[in-house]
Amino acid sequence: MTARILVVDDIEANRRLLQAKLEAQYHTVLLAEHGAQALELAHAEAPEIILLDVMMPGMDGYEVCRRLKADPVTSYIPVVMVTALSEMEDRVRGLDAGAEDFLTKPVDDFLLNSRITALMRYNTVASELRQREASGIRSGAMEELNRDEIDRPSRIFIVDDEARSSARLANTLRAQGHKATTLMEAGDMGELASERVDVLILSLSARSFDPLKLIAHFKMNPVTRSISVILICDPHDKAKALRGLEIGASDMITIPIDRQELAARIRTQTRRTRYIDILRQRVDRGLELSVIDQLTGLHNRRYMNGQLEQFMQRAVRGNQPLSLMMADIDHFKAVNDTHGHQAGDDVLREIGKRLRANVRPTDVVCRTGGEEFVVLMPNTPGDLACAAAERIRKAVAAETFPVLGGSQSLRITVSAGVSTLQGADDRADDLMHRADTALYQAKTGGRNRVESIAA
């Protein structure tokens, strides 16, 4: 994978050096020489990663990072702080400003490539989810990200076959307010499935298992795929760490472990895990909202249109019958006018329940708007479709409908029209039109009845 990377540094030699390193890995590089230009380019070019120098005249890197993260247009772009400062407090300050990572000058090629590899993988997932949501499926139910949920203490699982080091690490994390469990304490990895673990810390020095195979397993398993994996590695084992990042690990930290750096990396990876989880939930919710009628829980017209086209294609290819029932609640306007819209909603919900209770699992039940419902009946000839429609009509009329919390009950009936696919030249609009015509005949013929146009 390659990325579009914005390099920000007030010294041209530094910019050109990073540009050369990145272009050697086939990345596309944008250059900015001060903070204001960086903000402009981030807005205009939407880079996938920003390498940001800390010590710049005027607006330093910390302030640039804060502004990037405060702007909804650029807040999602990962920022890596590049600093000549050697103090850990200075590095952690960058992470506190919102940066995802940091690199120390002179920039080590291994660390540069490993950080970019991890960020690119994160970007791929996050970008896909943001695009799916944007093309979704925006509706009033798409709430803002819950910052309290993202920032609360982490749930961490430590995988290391060295008891003393894993216990020491767990105690350090607990002292920082996190919930930490070691493999030694748990006995197995069942907790990964039963608990919503945010971060898995994996020692590359383990001897009783292959850490790289374990990473591959985690990333293939749907239960653990989204968990951020931080590798603990010896400084002399960079090749193995890079391979771990390529397989799917999210980050790495070298021993001896600095507590401040550990805390910062845990916080960053936890936020990423929860951000991805929340995006997935929002996309799933958006997809549901796009095909489900929220009042009745039935499928909506959008879903029906897609399913009808697919059912017709399958029916023609397999020379199988296909029928459609269109039903309409009789005198529904009178229900709303006399008893109010809440009573009308109660009736619609109950109609949905009775429809679902009287169709086959293979049938598709939809509310297409107002008081109109459609049932798609694959592999169903006209006579059986009429029998099914009659069964539904009787189920609706058989018992009264409780409304307004059960304080009243109403007699409700439906009229229905049935149509059947006529052949390869038939279109969805033709099938719907014939069902609508049959429904009109049922209405004009006295209501609470089923009519059919099969040919």
Please list the active-site residues. Answer: 371
Q: 240: which 2 tokens?
A: 């193995």
Taking alpha carbons only, the member of 145, 137, 144 closest to residue 289 is 137
Structure tokens at 305: 């249109």
What does the alpha-carbon distance between residue 165 and residue 143 come to, in Å, rounded to a whole number? 42
What 245-254 contacts at long range (C-beta under 8 Å, 24+ apart), as own/partner pairs, is 245/114, 245/117, 245/118, 246/117, 247/212, 247/215, 247/216, 247/219, 248/121, 248/215, 248/216, 248/218, 248/219, 249/118, 249/202, 249/215, 250/118, 250/121, 250/122, 251/101, 251/118, 252/114
Structure tokens at 262: 């550990």
Any alpha helices (H) in 292-446, and if so which ranges? 301-318, 332-339, 341-357, 382-398, 428-444
The DSSP letter of residue 9 is -
User: What three-state secondary structure class fits 361?
Assistant: coil
Secondary structure element (H or E) that encloses residue 4, with its range: strand 4-8
